[in-house]
């Protein structure tokens, strides 16, 4: 196995997905967004199982990872459309918090360069019971674009992971077809022969 093999690249992509998903999970917890918290949790579990499958040459786990990547891409497209107000979706809806709380994205009040109405940097929820009461006038980058950047990073890494996982599954399948653990070598044009040493 070389350093730049598809298997090593997929391991690297899985590790990168874990890091970015955990970072995203932290900010979803800070914003009390329950739907993304649950989806991110499942994503972390499936990526860990996919990583196990790649390391242990278990094609079933890698196939499960492949199928989850399709769902994960769909979720990130949905979240992007939600924050861009596309397709009848609205970033002001309670979809991501599951209607349980009135909280929004943590980045809405604590984004880079956000200033409160009195000109001081936003200290978020430190002085107030309800984060909805925080008035933020301007930010260097609006919160919906930060959330969309998270989605774009996840989409890029997921699509690369999908492509490499497809290749890794095909190589695992080729290796399984060419070798039998009982000691038989199967050749398509010849009958099975036992190899004795």
What does the pLDDT look like over 15-35, one tens digit per residue?
999 999 999 888 888 877 788
Q: How confident is the model at residue 167 (pLDDT cuts 50, 70, 90)?
A: very high
Statement: residue 120 has pLDDT above 80: no
Question: Would you say 157 and 17 are in contact if contact means Cβ atoms under 8 Å apart?
Answer: yes
Q: How confident is the model at residue 155 (pLDDT cuts 50, 70, 90)?
A: very high
On the CB side of 39, how many CA atoms lie within 13 Å of its CA?
20
pTM of the model: 0.73
Contacts of 93 (CB under 8 A, 6+ apart): 82
Contacts of 142 (CB under 8 A, 6+ apart): 111
* Residue-range domain boundaries for the chain: 1-186
């Amino acid at each position: 196995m070389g350093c730049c093999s598809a298997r090593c690249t997929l391991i690297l992509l899985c590790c990168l997905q874990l890091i970015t998903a955990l970072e995203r999970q932290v900010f979803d917890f800070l914003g009390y967004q329950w739907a993304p918290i649950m989806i991110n949790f499942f994503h972390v579990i499936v990526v860990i199982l996919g990583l196990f499958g790649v390391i242990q040459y278990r094609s079933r786990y890698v196939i499960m990872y492949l199928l989850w990547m399709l769902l994960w891409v769909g979720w990130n497209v949905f979240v992007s459309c939600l924050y861009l107000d596309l397709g009848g979706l609205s970033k002001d809806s309670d979809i991501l918090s599951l209607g349980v709380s009135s909280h929004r994205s943590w980045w809405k009040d604590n984004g880079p360069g956000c200033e409160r109405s009195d000109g001081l940097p936003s200290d978020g929820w430190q002085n107030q019971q309800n984060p909805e009461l925080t008035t933020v006038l301007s930010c260097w980058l609006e919160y919906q674009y930060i959330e969309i950047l998270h989605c774009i990073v996840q989409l890029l890494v997921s699509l690369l992971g999908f492509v490499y996982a497809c290749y890794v599954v095909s190589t695992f399948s080729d290796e399984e077809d060419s070798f039998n653990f009982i000691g038989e070598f199967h050749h398509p044009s010849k009958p099975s022969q036992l190899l004795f040493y």
